[in-house]
Amino acid sequence: MRMPAEWETHERTLMAWPSNGYTLGETEAEANRARQTWANVANAVVRFEPVTMVVTHADVEIAKHYLDDRVDLVTMDLNDAWMRDIGPTYVKDDQELVAVNWVFNGWGAQSWATWNFDDQVATNLADVFVTRRVDSPMINEGGGIHVNGQGTILLTETVQLGQGRNGDWTKAQVEAEFHRLLGTSKAVWIKRGLTRDYDEFGTRGHIDIVACFSDENTILYHDQQNPEHPDFEVSQEVRRTLEQGTGFKLIPVPAPKVLTDHEGPVDYSYINHYIVNGAVILCAFDDENDEVAKTILEDAYPGREIVLVDARELFARGGGIHCITQQKPA
């Protein structure tokens, strides 16, 4: 089996509509901002490829109000709305599409998380699309991995080997399970993720705001250039790790200039973009580096339109554009 790279052709994008808990917020105004932001991403993606939005029965009419008519709706129960993490990871077995179903436990059984519905989403979607499913005993989320489609996977030690996930697994066992299911043969481990990602609603280090492949030979990485931000040291550490014998071309992508919000240092990252057919949906932050990042990605993804979507409301809830999308390969 082989997990196609994200830039390979998609059949569609899968998403989940925000319907519960902290993702919606505590007021109707916060809920409306969440809904509008999720819809902005879906409506940007559907310009380039089909989008299927998973939505609870109670929220169908609300979702329709915000979403482009071209977005397909599928109803099922949800706890949260981070499809990258709760949905299946799709691989190819020769030409057959296979849905890998990881164990999902609320990002390491965090106290604020519930997952009695979300841990069934991958299984339910495999049924909806009549896709063969392979179950893994490993706790993992889609935001915790990036592959180049040619044998290499990027990982973070504090995710697969961290608190609340696979505490009794060795690094070799984790690598072997990914190699078995994703067709990889080489793992590149980053020691830790961005600082804010270890706060209350963080994932404890997902790779998809730290580093990603832009092609089979190139890695983009988050470059916090201001020494006053704690991620300055993280970025230096990531760069040193990636320089040590990986053999990949490295492209730093500067972090936004903004350093903090009302809760402390931000983890705003342009790395958390999503590649679709003919385009890249890029997180924007109303920041002077938005255009800098757009220019870098135009060079990294030649021939693709770079579409900016304001992602501040996503990051305020613990994620970004890549975190709420999941590709279903063609």
CATH number at residue 273: 3.75.10.10
Please list, residue by residue across 154-174, b when 16 or more beta carbons sit within 10 angstroms of its beta carbon and e when fewer do: bbbebbbbbeebbeebeeeeb
Q: What is the mean pLDDT of residues 36-59?
A: 98
Is 2 within a domain?
A: no
Is 49 within a domain?
A: yes
Is 102 within a domain?
A: yes
Q: What is the mean pLDDT of residues 206-213?
A: 98
Residues belonging to the active site: 323
Residue 257, classified by CB atoms within 10 Å of its CB into exposed (0-12), middle (13-18) or buried (19+), is: middle
- Per-residue pLDDT band at 303 (split at 50, 70, 90): very high
So what's the pLDDT on residue 21? 83
Total number of domains constituting the chain: 1
pLDDT at 55 over 80: yes
pLDDT at 245 over 80: no
Is 103 within a domain?
A: yes
Q: For 26-47, how does the pLDDT look when each residue is reduced to its tens digit (9 = 90+)?
A: 999 999 999 999 999 999 999 9
pTM for the predicted model, two decimal places? 0.98
Is 146 within a domain?
A: yes
Is 1 within a domain?
A: no
Is 230 within a domain?
A: yes
Q: What is the mean pLDDT of residues 174-192?
A: 98
Is 3 within a domain?
A: no
- Per-residue pLDDT band at 246 (split at 50, 70, 90): confident
Average pLDDT of the chain, as a whole number: 97
Q: Which domain holds residue 291?
A: 10-329
Q: What is the mean pLDDT of residues 47-52?
A: 98
So what's the pLDDT on residue 50? 98
Q: What is the mean pLDDT of residues 204-224?
A: 98
